[in-house]
Amino acid sequence: MSLCGASQPSTPGRPAHLTDRHPAFAGEAIGIRLHAARLAYAGTVLFDALDVRLEPGATTCLLGPSGVGKSSLLKRLAGLLPADPDDQLRCDDGRPLAGRFAWMDQRDLLLPWLDVLGNVTLGARLRGVPADRARALALLEQVGLTDASGMRPDALSGGMRQRAALARTLYEDRPVVLMDEPFSALDALTRYRLQGLAAELLATRTVLLVTHDPAEALRIGDRVHVLSGRPARLDEALIPPGPPPRDPTDDQIRPLHRELMARLGVVRDAC
């Protein structure tokens, strides 16, 4: 898929609005498939023969009960957990995923002895390459932290720290972003604002977002799955209408929210 802004036909299973989104990433989007994945932890099989598909340039949101294996699935994709001999992780372009993804955690993971600018460019320093100060400052402007570039993390609010973490994620400029409940520790208003910011800045990248919040998933996800059971299975994707970020009170979103709550077992049916 080209991400140069030209109009393109939609592909099966892919929301048509994705082809109209402003390209926040100038590279080529990557589709990913994890096939026949198996993971056991402390003698418990979390998932077995699990198939996962991440559509290129789309945000896939993943919900499910605590302990079902959502974060473990993220770590499997990131190569942080050992692969079962029978499972297969493939990118559509035939190249490995390793080295082509960025990670954003629930914790901001900012280093306390570095200022905001130093934290954003940390990856470059660790790789032993010159930091692109101009690009880092431009990203800080995008996330509203221009005046905080020289501040240490302990002087920032929780929302500011997560915006700095988002800028650091974007600075890595990877086509794939793995996110593990990055906004869950924030107050409701800050979380709402950062959801919108992330939806805008991560548009056209391939994103897997783990969340416990159905409203968040429907607001910023292009495809929404529930992982449930033991061993865990993915349900059929819910595909919210229109481009994110969406208005959670929209009449088209509310029925999807009820259905998603039913899939999570919170309500008995999805009328």
Half-sphere exposure in the Cβ direction for 202 (13 Å, CA): 33
pLDDT of 25 reads 57
Looking at residue 184, its pLDDT comes to 86
Are 202 and 177 a contacting pair, CB within 8 Å? yes
85 shares a domain with 219: yes
Kindly give the parts of the chain with pLDDT less than 70: 1-26, 267-271
pLDDT of 86: 82
The CA-based angle 245-246-252, given to 5 degrees, is 155
Domain membership flag for residue 99: no
Q: What is the pLDDT at residue 26?
A: 59
- Asked whether residue 271 is domain-assigned, the answer is no
| Total domains present in the chain | 2
* 141 close to 197: Cβ distance less than 8 angstroms: no
pLDDT tens for residues 189-215? 888 989 999 999 899 999 999 999 999
Note the pTM of the prediction, 2 decimals: 0.86
Q: Which of 158, 123, 165, 119 is nearest to 143 (CA)?
A: 165
CATH code for position 184: 3.40.50.300
Judge if 39 and 51 occupy the same domain: yes
pLDDT of residue 267: 56
| pLDDT recorded at residue 2 | 23
Residue 66, domain extent: 1-6+15-92+175-266
pLDDT (tens digit per residue) in 40-60: 877 888 889 899 999 999 999
The neighbouring-strand residues paired with 246 are: none
Which of 173, 192, 210 delimits the end of a domain? 173
| 97 touches 77 (CB < 8 A) | yes
- 188 and 86 assigned to the same domain: yes
Regarding whether 115 and 67 lie in a shared domain, the answer is: no
DSSP SS3 for 265? coil
Question: Is residue 101 in some structural domain?
Answer: no
Cα dist from 22 to 9, 25, 59, 99, whole Å: 16, 9, 14, 25
